Each structure stands twice: as structure tokens, then as C-alpha cells.
Structure 1
């Protein structure tokens, strides 16, 4: 019997055509098991009789009805994974051609975590995008003799894609995804990085992350704003837990919240203080940018790449 080497876990909701594209980028072979976890998709948007991957070898499809989001779906996938290495993909992204040859180089590695580079494109036009830039910079700046570059790789590189996690390492440290609407993956990645004793870094861009204007990342409603703010507080909580000094500034969020009303402003302020945030951290730069009428982004990970001015 051929040994399963890699478990690829893909959460999915309501984008079957993009899931099909993702699956098409994964080699079909007994060494790779693909676990698709559907997060209660809408029957009007998904044909469950012809679900992507249903006729694909070495592919398991799990249908959940709880509708708890990608973090919950990934945790379900973790419970079914059998391989030595765990790999995560979003259903609207895909793997690049160098994927399999690159990960194979590290199959016998005793690393806890392997970090790779990535590329990014517009999901519709496939024109180059910039969502991968921070990750790629961290990968290319990595120096095993430079503690700062190691810290950047481990603690400030929050997406689960473009990485290979040693399954035993994840189990031993009981690491799971947060089951929240936004930012469910950051704690998983930060914690896995923190407890890793051995890491490997490779410059090959095995993954392509896409830019979609209709994704949760770019929703601009008050509810989406609240979700992103809670995600920032969640990530900062992990960074404090592991004694990191660099945080995500909450001042821009608190300042911008006044557009939703005075009550929202004080609610955001109270949440920050209760969480132990330094509300003035990063405020000087933010105010300088306002006076200079410059755009300022918090992090692409949170989808706050529009103008943060009031």
C-alpha cells in the first residue's frame, strides 16, 4: 500500500467553480490525500449531485451543516488527516506548477514547519497582484543567523497557505484553528511557529493566493468591520502570550469606528482596554498619514487595504 505523505485540507463555501480550479492544480496520486470540508454551502449555488472532487481519486469530501466558518471546517479536516505533513489551501486559490517537486524535497525533513514563498493574482483576470508580498519579503529576507528574520517568519506571517506543518508537531501541541469569522488561522500559524524547534525555509513559490473583490476580506459593512477588529484583538492576544513586542495598532480601528456612531467608538475603546491593548500604539504614524493625506493599510491579511482616513 502506498503511504499517504501529504494531507491537503480545503475549506469551501459557495464557490464550486473556484474549488474546481484549486483541485486541478493538485497532482492526483496516492501520496496526496485531499480533504474538502464544505461549510454548509447554499444548494442554490452548489450542485451537490456533482460536487467538485466527487469523482476524483484520493479525495474525501465532508459536508458540515453547522455553518461555523473556515476555522471550524479546517478543524474538521484535521480530525480526518492521516499524513505526516499538513498543507492548507483556500478554495479560491491554487498551487503553482512547482508545488509537488518543492514539497517532496522536504518529506524526510525532521522540521516542525516548512515555509515556502507564494505568488498572487486577480482571481478573474489572473493579472499579477500583491497579496503575497509580505510573505515573499519575509522568505527572501530569511537568515538563519538573524534572530529578527526568524521572528518575522514565525510570528508575523499569519496565513496557513504556503506552509507545510508536521502533523505530529500539531498534535503534540494540540493546536487548532480559532472558530471565528475573520482571522481564524493566525493563532494556528503563530502557535505552530512559536513551538517549532526546527524550521525550514524555501524560496520556491508553491502557492498562488488570489484577490477577489467579493470575498469576506473586502466586505465593508459594519459587521465585517467588527469581525476584523475582533481578529486584530485575537492576534494581538497571541503575540502578547508569546512575549512579542510588535503588535497590530488598534488606534486606526478605534478612530475609524466613529463613522458607525459614538456608541461604536466607545465600544471599540472598551474592548481594546479590556484586552490589554496600548490604544496609542502606532497612533503617531497614523495621524501623520492623515495630515499628509496618504493611504495607510493595517495588513492585507485583515482586508483593510482601503483608505483608513475618517
Structure 2
């Protein structure tokens, strides 16, 4: 069997249907695994199960998040190559044909382009722009520097193909955290990859949702993201890989939640291998880019 598609799911049955329809389930070399994270609405999920009898449906023992769901999927993956998809996204036409072409080039990880849309309007979203830019830069100049930058910054699991034997060899799994559960998996596995292969083909569509709860920044989510970033920095240092991961942005953001949260963030930062570059905090151009990106994201979320 060539491919295993792993899909974490939580109360997204209608969108899950859209995703499953986009997968060529008639392919004989395809295993599709949906891991439900204890969705409250099991009735809708039962209807999906009836519609897609060839799909394997599993469940987390308790509500643990997408990272735990993906890890369960990996335990049952038998495909030579593994794809990860979010239940609210979809694959594009010819995607699996492009996968078939790409695997002719032996690699541990394959990177592809993605399309991004605002779900409510169908307009372009910026969600995939940064990741596409990393791939295009590497394709234009496939040198060691751009390869390292691609590995360090392409931190999402979608529009990417992993060799299953490679994942089993590294034993690097997803974090089971409420947010940022895929950052460590993608970056650290990429650091272990002997060979990567980038493809100038659009295979996946990611949606900007207007009802997403995880897009709202809270103090708990900020601290969780900081802890994950610190974990990544520690492992990169252990591997002897130079990086620019910094705590400065997290510290600046923590100020908006009050002194207690700021002190918690500061404590995590000083105990970690993250850089504490205070000059980044007062870098005006950096903050202008940050606010521009945030304003664009907010505008997309609020589109009707």
C-alpha cells in the first residue's frame, strides 16, 4: 500500500465529508484513517461512516486534541508514505497523481504548494503564503541555506508527504497540546531528513474559517505556544543546528495579558534555549509586519 492519509476530526462532519470526497478512495493503494477526538455529535459522524465504508474510523480515548489523534493514526498507518490532512480542508484535483510522480524521487519528506481560501467567500487567504514562499525560494535556489530555512520554517503537516519508515525511524511524534501540536513534529523530523524534495504543484486547499476557536489568542494558548517553541529550540541546540527562534515576540504579546502572564512567559523563556533578543522587541519594521499580518487574518476571519 502506497499512501496512508491521517485525518484528526472533532465535530466537523460536514467539512469532513468535503475532505473525504476530495480523496480518490477508489485507489487500491490508499488507506484513509479518520481519528475522532471524542466529538459530542456522534450522530453526524455515524452518517459519515455509512457514506464512506472504506475509510477506517478510530477514536481517542478522551478529548486530547489533534496531536494525539494523529499519533493514533500513525500507530495504524501501513502505507509506504503518510499524508496528514485537517478535517476542514481538502485535496485538489490531480493531487495523488502528483504524489505518484514525486515519489519516483527517493526522499524522506516531500513538500508541495497549497491553495488557501476564505471559506465563507472563496476569496484568497494568506494562510499558505509563507509556506509556499519557502518552497518557491528553495526551488529557485536549491542550496543548503534555503533547504535549512525550509526545514526550520515549514511547520505545518499539510501539503507534505512523509516516508512512513522515516517517521518510524526518528520516533518523533506530535505533541499532545491544545495548540501548536504539530510544530515540533514537522521541524524536528525535517532536521533528521537526509533528503527532501520540493514540488511546484498545488495539491491541497486550506481554508480560513470564520468559526475557528483556536485562532483566538488567549493567555493559556500563548504560554502553550511558547513552551512548544522552547522545546523545539532545546532539541535544535542538542542537534547542533543554528536557529533564530526567539522568546521576544512571546514576551511582548504576554504583556497584554497582565503582569502574571508576563512573569510566567519570562520564566519559561529564561529557562529555555530560546534567544532573548530585546532588539527584536523594538524593531519597528518587524512589528509593522506583525500588525499587518494580524489585521489581514482578522479581516479574513470576519468576512461574510
TM-score where L is the length of structure 2: 0.88
Partner of 2:302: none
Equivalent residues of 1:98, 1:205 under 8 A apart: no
Is 1:237 the counterpart of 2:234 in the alignment?
Answer: yes
Listed as ranges, the gaps of 5+ residues in structure 1 are none
Equivalent residues of 2:245, 2:275 under 8 A apart: no
- TM-superposition CA deviations, 1:61-102 (whole Å, max 9, x none): 012231111111001000111110000001111111131110
Partner of 1:253: 250
C-alpha RMSD of the superposition: 2.6
Partner of 1:296: 290
Q: Give the whole-Å Cα distance in 2 for the aligned partners of 1:255 and 1:293.
A: 10
The 3-state SS of whatever aligns with 1:33 is strand
Change (3 A) 1:20 1:184: same
The 3-state SS of whatever aligns with 1:124 is coil
Partner of 2:154: 157
Which residue of 191, 196, 199 maps to 1:199? 196
Partner of 1:190: 187
Listed as ranges, the gaps of 5+ residues in structure 2 are 299-304
The 3-state SS of whatever aligns with 1:117 is strand
- The offset of 1:264, in angstroms, is 1.6
Question: Which sits farther off after the overlay, 11-20 or 218-227?
Answer: 218-227
Change (3 A) 1:155 1:276: closer
Change (3 A) 1:297 1:245: farther
- TM-superposition CA deviations, 1:155-185 (whole Å, max 9, x none): 2111011111011111122221111111111
Change (3 A) 1:201 1:297: farther
Question: Which sits farther off after the overlay, 4-13 or 132-141?
Answer: 132-141
Partner of 2:134: 138
- The offset of 1:105, in angstroms, is 0.6
Is 1:118 the counterpart of 2:117 in the alignment?
Answer: no
Partner of 2:78: 82
Q: When you count helix as a share of all residues, which structure comes out higher?
A: 2
Equivalent residues of 2:126, 2:297 under 8 A apart: no
Partner of 2:38: 40
